[in-house]
Chains A and B, each alone.
Chain A
Amino acid sequence: MNIFDVIGPVMIGPSSSHTAGAVRLGNLALAILGEPIKKAVIGLHGSFAQTYRGHGTDLALVGGLQGWATDDARIPKAFEEAKQAGITISFEIINLGDLAHPNSVKFWLTGVDGKVCNVTGISIGGGRVCVTNIDDFPVEFNGEFPAILTMHNDRPGTIALVTGILSGQGVNVAQMKVFRKQKGGLAAMIVETDQPVDDAQFYAIGKLPHIESVRRIQLG
């Protein structure tokens, strides 16, 4: 924590968790999709479902999906701007279960070039957020570092090949986590890095054996 965490951030009110955090979750979902959004279905759970109008959570999420920052003065007009940009938005009240965080949102996104994905995230207070699920795969990351997300087959050496490509270009791994549903099945890996990952590395990772898909997640 530094002094500008206390004197700041500059944000559109009224709530750091329900407004600023919602913008950041929209930003993250957009970065995960990896192209501008054409259509978004947004599911709200718990406190998000109950109080979204009063906190402008819906506007904040839609602003975030358009790549805006938490202090963007256009946030109160996010729906009009989305409409003008040709983005279709709809909201649903969802129930992710008793164990889900009260401030949870699930996005089902379609991009302008046809990419699709679903992203679940939570707002954990003070504007801090965490992505907990991508394409029905449980993950955990917060977007503070540039990240690479792979979906790959759980085979020996796959992780080393990925980190090898990164280290070859002087990219330092800040944190990494591996998730799998069952041994030898489909697995996911989040690699958070101190430096951004360039195009050449990104494509090289995509061509590795056993890699089903790779995403590069970088917030502006």
Chain B
Amino acid sequence: MDEKLSLQKWIGLAQQKNISFGDFCVELQAKELEIGEDDLLQRMEAMLKVMEQSIASGLSGTKSMGGLVGGNGKLMDNYRREHTRESIVGSIMSKAIMIALAVGEANASMGRIVAAPTAGASGTLPAVLFSLSEARGIDMPVLAKALTVSGTIGMVIASRATLSGAAGGCQAECGSAGAMAAGAAVELYGGSPKQVGHAVAMTLKNMLGLVCDPVAGLVEVPCVKRNAGAVAVAMTAAEMALAGIESVIPVDEVIDAMAAVGSAMSCTLKETAQGGLAVSPTGLSWANKIFARS
């Protein structure tokens, strides 16, 4: 992959062909993998099924390996069922928060998940996809196409920047997951290819600079809750894009800025557990307790 991928280029091509970005991505990726479009969508549906199972497993009362997370997805689920009229963020986002926490907790407790784009950021995409699919009665084949949009966005970010917290901080993991989810959300709501690009750009702009500072080096605190935070940013960006709001900075340039910010970030803030929340007094005390057990 010598030449960097460009989301702007692909958005332009989809516009020229006058097709949705989802249709464009399915055509592009099927060709790239040398498989039929139906095969591609079937493989995406298989990923969606694993995501669905991981939601259920996270809600079934998990306890993480390090013992720092577990049960919050369930708390969120109980709350939203009991307070259907009073939700601050509304029922769709409330459900999305629940899913993000549940999948994050499933991951932290050795559940089976889809790393999309990574294990630590695996809650955000299922959260956005399944909360919207429930709200709009969207079926699996349509969801599979939206997931193809997400994957295509992720490939561009991997090409121009990185998807790894160790290389680029949490902006590269939860930030990218949010951007991939925002693009999928716009696609599911009938937005144009250009609007997909703006949603991606606006999500990343709001996640820029987010550090990776896991307590005790584990994928638990703050990772699980950051998946929920990324959901909120992604949905906000998608809503703005669908309203016709545009990112002043073009999407490829935002991704490039993320790469530059990631490079400038201190190593203490890139998954090494040597900065941020990891070295807060409480973070350190948890780390000591966990290492004493090992």
Interface residues of A, Cβ cutoff 8 Å to B: 1-17, 19-20, 47, 49-56, 59, 71, 73, 75-76, 125-127
Chain B residues 76 to 114 lying within 8 A of chain A, measured CB to CB, are 106-114
A216 to B111, CA, bound (A): 33
B66 interface residue per 8 A CB criterion = yes
Nearest A-chain residue to B290, judged by Cβ: A54
A119 to B23, CA, bound (A): 47
Jot down 11 A-B pairs with beta carbons below 8 A, ordered by A.
A6-B158, A7-B151, A10-B114, A13-B109, A13-B219, A14-B110, A51-B218, A54-B218, A54-B220, A56-B65, A125-B167
A75 to B66, CA, bound (A): 16
Nearest B-chain residue to A52, judged by Cβ: B294
Are B154 and A20 touching (Cβ within 8 A)? Answer: no
Chain A to chain B: the 10 pairs with minimum beta-carbon distance, closest first: A13-B107, A6-B154, A54-B66, A3-B151, A14-B219, A7-B151, A54-B218, A76-B110, A53-B294, A51-B217
Tell me how far the C-beta of B288 lies from the nearest C-beta in chain A, rounded to whole angstroms: 12
What chain A residues lie within 8 Å of B291 (beta carbons)? 50
What chain A residues lie within 8 Å of B111 (beta carbons)? 12-13
Tell me how far the C-beta of B184 lies from the nearest C-beta in chain A, rounded to whole angstroms: 11
Tell me how far the C-beta of B258 lies from the nearest C-beta in chain A, rounded to whole angstroms: 16
Are A19 and B119 touching (Cβ within 8 A)? Answer: yes
Q: Tell which of B1, B114, B148, B163 touches A3, judged by Cβ atoms closer than 8 Å.
A: B148
Stretch at the interface among B8-16, B43-51, B196-204: B43-51
Nearest A-chain residue to B46, judged by Cβ: A10
What chain B residues lie within 8 Å of A12 (beta carbons)? 110-113
Given contacts A7-B150, A55-B218, A59-B110, contact A1 B158 (CB under 8 A): yes
Given contacts A53-B65, A53-B294, A55-B219, contact A11 B119 (CB under 8 A): yes
Are A3 and B155 touching (Cβ within 8 A)? Answer: yes
Chain B residues 115 to 162 lying within 8 A of chain A, measured CB to CB, are 115-120, 122, 147-148, 150-152, 154-155, 158-159
Chain B residues 212 to 227 lying within 8 A of chain A, measured CB to CB, are 216-220
Are B114 and A7 touching (Cβ within 8 A)? Answer: yes
Nearest A-chain residue to B167, judged by Cβ: A125
Are A3 and B32 touching (Cβ within 8 A)? Answer: yes
What chain B residues lie within 8 Å of A5 (beta carbons)? 158
What chain A residues lie within 8 Å of B148 (beta carbons)? 3
Tell me how far the C-beta of A24 lies from the nearest C-beta in chain B, rounded to whole angstroms: 13
B164 interface residue per 8 A CB criterion = yes
Are A1 and B65 touching (Cβ within 8 A)? Answer: no
Nearest B-chain residue to A9, judged by Cβ: B115
What chain B residues lie within 8 Å of A10 (beta carbons)? 47, 50, 112-115
